[in-house]
Each structure stands twice: as structure tokens, then as C-alpha cells.
Copies of this chain bind each other. A is one copy, B any other.
Amino acid sequence: MPAPLRLGLAGLGTVGVGVVRIVQRHADLIAARAGRPVQVIAVSARDAARDRGVDLSAYAWEADPVALARRDDIDLFVEVMGGSEGPARLATEAAIDAGKDVVTANKALLAHHGQALAEAAETAGRVIRFEAAVAGGIPVIKALTEGLAGNRIGRVMGVMNGTCNYILTRMESAGLPYETVFEEARQLGYLEADPNLDVGGIDAGHKLSLLAAIAFGTRVSFDRVELEGIGKVSIDDIRHAADLGFRIKLLGVAQMTGRGLEQRMTPCLVPADSPLGQLQGGTNMVVLEGDAVGQIVLRGPGAGEGPTASAVMADVIDLARGVRLPTFGQPATSLVEPVAAAAATPAPHYLRMTLLDKPGALAKIATELGAAGISIDRMRQTQHQGAHAPVLIVTHKAAPQDVAHAMTRFAGTGVLVGEPVAIRIEEV
């Protein structure tokens, strides 16, 4: 049997321990599939003394991940520390410099430095793989880069932050406001140390920017992702959306149109009976649309020890098998700087507002919509609350800027109580 593939593993948190478990438990299975053994040689983590529930005694210990990355006795540097800067970045750069391939679960690192790292790797003749960085255990990088390689990709969509989806589905099922469920999620340990990475859409935005690069042959441009978190999603909107046959999801959409590349990670309504609408709890889903294949939907666990380690090991075993592809599916130097679309593709919108209960109020709103060129698909006036009349409107397809313009015009009608709400309805 050929020589083993020798790993240096940086990071012994949940994912790192999961990788160790798979390497130890499935040594024979992996050797049979890879055609050679896969071994962990050395590890690195902040606390050498902590009991992690796995036997690390056979591995060398490096206090410094950079030193680990440069060890002569490893072929492959596995980075599961996280963070876009600091040790993760330094060690990844060191690994490439030292002639090692890299497998990483680090979406933040690649969202910010993916282009530079991919170019450095290609110059050095090395490979960076990152299946675990997007949608956990779902092999979506592979499906997009390889499985759909014969397609021009039109659109990629996904629910890629399990915590946000947990919060939104729990709000609906328990009828609880955002703040209460957010606090629950925090106490359950579902939130990142900086919760804004989750609920602000940043983590999911990182993932979307990586998918977009592969899908469209463009440089990763996370700074052009339109980001809006779930903090403003109200239980009222969740309920009204449900009444209208929709669910609210933190939905990532990357789409190449004649006007450029659109990247959005924002709350959207989707049909309740669509695969995306039916997605409950922490599960992730990615939808890939290609000109030949049509629509492919991938669903699975987006986080956790086993699923993320499974994705890391897919990359490791690919490399053990000799599969070597460019980081983003084509040479990094051939990726083009994307033109960011000035505005999102037109779409139906959900509007909710409260009107004074007096004659002609609804007509004034309808007039403003008409003036903005927005036609109404459905309008529903719900039960009066005292002198106020809550109104729900589903528009036909409308440009987001026209919707925004109409929303500002509503204020001048004198019939509005409080702030109106507009949420995009993504056609899935």
C-alpha cells in the first residue's frame, strides 16, 4: 500500500475532536477507500492539558499552529481553529509556504483572504479545500464544483446558519418573540461568542460568498454581500406570513444577472410548502440551479462534531486519493472581479402596515403603490385593533428600489400608524 497521508491538525475543539474520532475509528475503511492510510501525526490547540475524550497520546503536540504547519513530517495541514485573522491565517499561510496542502473549515478566513490564499497555493503547487466551511456535513462544495461542472449556474440559494433557522422556526412553533428565543438559543449554547456572526447573517454571508465564487468564476467578494440579520423579524410577520402560505427564512441568494452579481443574505419569505419553507430547526439546505440540470436541493446537518468532521474528512480523503482541484474550481488567477448588481432582481414583496381606521386609508396606500408602478397580487385587512387596521399586501414582482420608494411615500399619506414592513418574497 502507498505511503500514508500525514496530517497536522490545528484546533481541537468540536470539529478537531470529530476528525480525530473518524481517523481512529475508521482507519481501515478510509485506507480501503483512499488506497492509502490517513494518519494524524501532530496536533495543536490552546490547552494541552484538557481532557477531550479522545486519545491524543500518539500525536506530537505543538503549542504553535505555525510550527505545526511547517513540520517536515506532515503532508497536509488541517485547520479547524476558526477566525479570519491571527493564528488561523498565519498558520495557513505558513502551511502553503512550507509546501503543504490545506483543508480548512474556516469560512471567515476564506471569505476575507480566499483569493490571496488560493493564489499563493496555486503558485506553490498546493491545494486548499474547504467542504466543511459551507453547510456543515452537506457536500455542497463538491456538488457545485464537480457535480454541476457542466452547467452554467444561474442561482445558488441556501439556509446556511442553523442557529438562525432554529430561532425563526422556534418563534413560529412556540409563538415567542425574537428576544425570548434568542435568549433560549444563547443558553443552549447555539450562538457564537459574538452572536452577531449568527443572527447578523455574517457567518451565513461568508458561506454565500464562497459559493458565489465557485458558481460564477468570480473572486470572493464578501464585502459586497447585502447583509441583513434576523433581529428585526417579528413574531407578527412570522404569523401573517404563515397565514398567507409563507415562511420567513434567513435566505442567502447569489445570482448572476445581466446587471451583475447579486449576493444577498437577508430575511425572505418562501412558500411554506417548498423544500426551503419546510426546513425546520438547525438543518441546512442549499439549492443549486444550473442551465442543464435544473434545480438540485441538498439538505443536511449544518453544524456539529460529526457532520463538520465528515466534511473535513471528505477533503482529506480526496487528497489522499490524489484528487487535486483549484480552490474555487478554476485557477485563482482566472477568477474575475465581479460587477456587483446595483439592485436586486425584482420580486414579489410582502408588506405589512397598520392604518388608521378611517375611510379612504387603504385607497391612499394603493394609490402610492400604483404611482410607484407596483401592482397588488393580494391584499388582506386583518381584524381591527381598536382604531387601527392592520393591512397585509402581497405585491406582484417589483423592483426593490420601487418598493423602498413606495414605503417612504406611505409616510406622507397621513394614514399610517408606526413603521411599515417590507420583506422580499424569493421565488423558489
User: Would you call B307 and A300 a contact (CB within 8 A)?
Assistant: no
Q: Is A213 an interface residue (CB 8 A)?
A: no
Interface flags for A316-335 (1: CB within 8 Å of B; 0: not) read 11100111111001110010
User: Would you call A310 and B292 a contact (CB within 8 A)?
Assistant: yes
Tell me the chain A residues, 270-286 only, with Cβ under 8 Å from chain B: 273, 275, 278
Contact of A148 among B278, B314, B324, B325 (CB under 8 A): B314
Max chain B Cβ within 10 angstroms of own Cβ: one of A148, A151, A318: A151
Q: Is A146 an interface residue (CB 8 A)?
A: yes
Min distance, Cβ A361 to any Cβ of chain B, angstroms: 40
Min distance, Cβ A290 to any Cβ of chain B, angstroms: 6
A291 to B138 Cα, complex, angstroms: 14
A75 to B311 Cα, complex, angstroms: 32
Q: Is A142 an interface residue (CB 8 A)?
A: yes
A97 to B297 Cα, complex, angstroms: 38
- Nearest residue in B to A304 (C-beta to C-beta)? B294
A322 proximity list for chain B (CB < 8 A): 324
A299 to B294 Cα, complex, angstroms: 11
Tell me the chain A residues, 217-270 only, with Cβ under 8 Å from chain B: 217
- Nearest residue in B to A149 (C-beta to C-beta)? B317
Knowing A307-B294, A330-B33 are in contact, say whether A139-B148 is a contact too (CB < 8 A): yes
A307 proximity list for chain B (CB < 8 A): 292-294
Q: Is A18 an interface residue (CB 8 A)?
A: yes
Q: Is A143 an interface residue (CB 8 A)?
A: yes
A312 to B148 Cα, complex, angstroms: 10
User: Would you call A150 and B293 a contact (CB within 8 A)?
Assistant: no
User: Would you call A150 and B26 a contact (CB within 8 A)?
Assistant: yes
A138 proximity list for chain B (CB < 8 A): 296
Copies of the polypeptide in the assembly:
2
User: Would you call B314 and A292 a contact (CB within 8 A)?
Assistant: no
A296 proximity list for chain B (CB < 8 A): 137-139, 298-300
User: Would you call A30 and B292 a contact (CB within 8 A)?
Assistant: no
A137 proximity list for chain B (CB < 8 A): 292-294, 296
Knowing A292-B22, A294-B301, A300-B293 are in contact, say whether A139-B143 is a contact too (CB < 8 A): yes
Tell me the chain A residues, 133-158 only, with Cβ under 8 Å from chain B: 137-139, 142-143, 146-152
Knowing A33-B330, A296-B298 are in contact, say whether A310-B142 is a contact too (CB < 8 A): no
Min distance, Cβ A409 to any Cβ of chain B, angstroms: 41
Interface flags for A331-345 (1: CB within 8 Å of B; 0: not) read 100100000000000
- Nearest residue in B to A296 (C-beta to C-beta)? B300
User: Would you call A139 and B150 a contact (CB within 8 A)?
Assistant: no
A209 to B266 Cα, complex, angstroms: 42
Q: Is A29 an interface residue (CB 8 A)?
A: yes
> Which 8 interchain pairs have the tightest Cβ spacing?
A139-B147, A150-B313, A293-B310, A137-B293, A296-B300, A292-B306, A292-B310, A297-B299
Q: 25 A-B residue contacts at CB 8 Å?
A: A22-B150, A32-B330, A33-B149, A33-B330, A35-B326, A138-B296, A139-B148, A143-B143, A146-B323, A147-B314, A148-B310, A150-B310, A150-B316, A278-B278, A291-B306, A292-B306, A292-B309, A292-B310, A293-B311, A296-B300, A298-B298, A299-B299, A321-B325, A322-B324, A323-B325
| Extra A-B contacts (18), CB below 8 Å, given A131-B147, A298-B298 | A22-B151, A26-B150, A33-B329, A137-B293, A137-B294, A139-B142, A139-B146, A142-B143, A146-B318, A148-B310, A150-B312, A150-B316, A275-B278, A291-B306, A293-B307, A294-B300, A296-B300, A298-B299
